[in-house]
A and B are shown apart, each in its own frame.
Chain A
Amino acid sequence: MNSMWLIAREEWRYWVRSRLARVSVLIFVGLIIASSLFSTLQTLDARHQRLHQQEVAEQTFLSQPARHPHRMVHYGHYAFRPPPPLAVFDPGIDVVTGQSIFLEGHRQNTAMFADARAQAKAGGFGILTPAMVYQILFPLLLIIIGHDIVAREREARTLAPLMGQGVTGITLYCGKALALLGLVGVLALPVLLVSVMSVLLGESIPAGLFLTLTYALFLTCWSALLLLVSFAFKTRGIILAVLMLFWLFGTLIIPRIAVATGDASFPTEGKILTDLRMKDDLREIGDGHNDADPTFSKLKAELLAQYNVGNVEDLPMNFRGVVASTAEARLTKTLNDYAEKRMERESRQSRIIRDFGALSPFLAVGHASKSIAGTDLKSHHRFLREAEVLRFGYVQALNEVHAGQIAYSDDINRSSDQGAEKRTRVDPENWRVLKQFRFETSGTNARLARAAPSLSFLTIWTLGLLGVGVLLARGASP
Chain B
Amino acid sequence: MTISVSNLFVERSGKTVLRDVSFHIDKGEVYALLGGNGAGKSTTLLSLLGFIKPGKGQMHVLGENPETHPAKVRASVAYLPEAATLYPHLDAYENLEYFLGLAGFKVGQARLDEALDTVDLQQPARADRMESYSKGMRQKVAIALAVLRDAPVLLLDEPTSGLDPVAIDDFNRLVRSLAGDGRTILMVTHDVYGACQVANRIGLLRRGDMVGFFEAKAGQRIHTEHVHRAFAERAAV
The reply to whether B79 and A161 contact each other, CB–CB distance below 8 Å, is yes
Contact with B along A162-198 (1 / 0, CB 8 A): 1111111000000000000000000000000000000
CB proximity of B80 to chain A, nearest CB, Å: 7
The reply to whether A18 and B81 contact each other, CB–CB distance below 8 Å, is no
Q: What is the bound-complex CA distance between A10 and B84, given in angstroms? A: 18
The reply to whether B85 and A164 contact each other, CB–CB distance below 8 Å, is no
Knowing A157-B81, A161-B142, A478-B46, the reply to whether A166 touches B102 (Cβ < 8 A) is yes
Which interface class (under 10, 10 to 19, 20 to 34, 35 or more) fits B? 20 to 34
The reply to whether B102 and A165 contact each other, CB–CB distance below 8 Å, is yes
The reply to whether B101 and A157 contact each other, CB–CB distance below 8 Å, is no
B86 at the interface (CB under 8 A from A): yes
Knowing A161-B142, A166-B104, the reply to whether A10 touches B81 (Cβ < 8 A) is no
A7: nearest chain-B partner, CB-CB: B102
Q: What is the bound-complex CA distance between A367 and B89, given in angstroms? A: 41
A276 at the interface (CB under 8 A from B): no
Which of B46, B51, B77, B142 has the most chain A CB within a 10 Å cutoff? B51
CB proximity of B188 to chain A, nearest CB, Å: 13
B90 at the interface (CB under 8 A from A): yes
Of the residues B52, B102, B142, contact of A162 by C-beta under 8 Å: B102
Interface size on A, residues (CB 8 A): 23
B214 at the interface (CB under 8 A from A): no
The reply to whether B89 and A6 contact each other, CB–CB distance below 8 Å, is no
B83 at the interface (CB under 8 A from A): yes
List residues of chain A with CB within 8 A of the CB of B98. 6, 10
Q: What is the bound-complex CA distance between A78 and B164, given in angstroms? A: 85
B74 at the interface (CB under 8 A from A): yes
Q: What is the bound-complex CA distance between A407 and B89, given in angstroms? A: 93
Knowing A160-B79, A161-B80, A478-B46, the reply to whether A168 touches B71 (Cβ < 8 A) is yes
- Considering the complex, which residues of chain A in the window 1-37 have a beta carbon less than 8 Å from any beta carbon of chain B? 1, 3, 6-7, 10, 13-14, 17-18
Q: What is the bound-complex CA distance between A18 and B88, given in angstroms? A: 11
A477: nearest chain-B partner, CB-CB: B51
List residues of chain B with CB within 8 A of the CB of A13. 89-90, 94
B78 at the interface (CB under 8 A from A): yes
Q: What is the bound-complex CA distance between A13 and B90, given in angstroms? A: 9
A445 at the interface (CB under 8 A from B): no
Inter-chain residue pair count (beta carbon < 8 A): 68
Of the residues B77, B82, B85, B101, contact of A158 by C-beta under 8 Å: B85
Knowing A6-B101, A166-B102, the reply to whether A161 touches B51 (Cβ < 8 A) is no
List residues of chain A with CB within 8 A of the CB of B77. 164
Q: What is the bound-complex CA distance between A6 and B103, given in angstroms? A: 11
A120 at the interface (CB under 8 A from B): no
B213 at the interface (CB under 8 A from A): no
Of the residues B75, B99, B104, contact of A161 by C-beta under 8 Å: B99
List residues of chain A with CB within 8 A of the CB of B85. 156-158
Q: What is the bound-complex CA distance between A36 and B103, given in angstroms? A: 45
Name B residues whose Cβ lies closer than 8 Å to a Cβ of A.
46, 49, 51-52, 71, 74-75, 77-90, 94, 98-99, 101-104, 142, 145
Q: Known pairs A161-B84, A166-B102; list 5 more (Cβ under 8 Å).
A: A157-B84, A157-B85, A164-B74, A165-B74, A166-B75
Name A residues whose Cβ lies closer than 8 Å to a Cβ of B.
1, 3, 6-7, 10, 13-14, 17-18, 156-158, 160-168, 477-478
22 A-B pairs with C-beta separation under 8 A = A1-B101, A3-B101, A6-B101, A10-B98, A13-B90, A158-B85, A160-B46, A160-B49, A160-B81, A161-B145, A162-B99, A162-B102, A163-B49, A164-B49, A164-B79, A165-B103, A166-B74, A166-B103, A166-B104, A167-B102, A168-B71, A478-B81
6 A-B pairs closest in CB distance: A164-B79, A165-B102, A165-B103, A160-B81, A477-B51, A17-B89
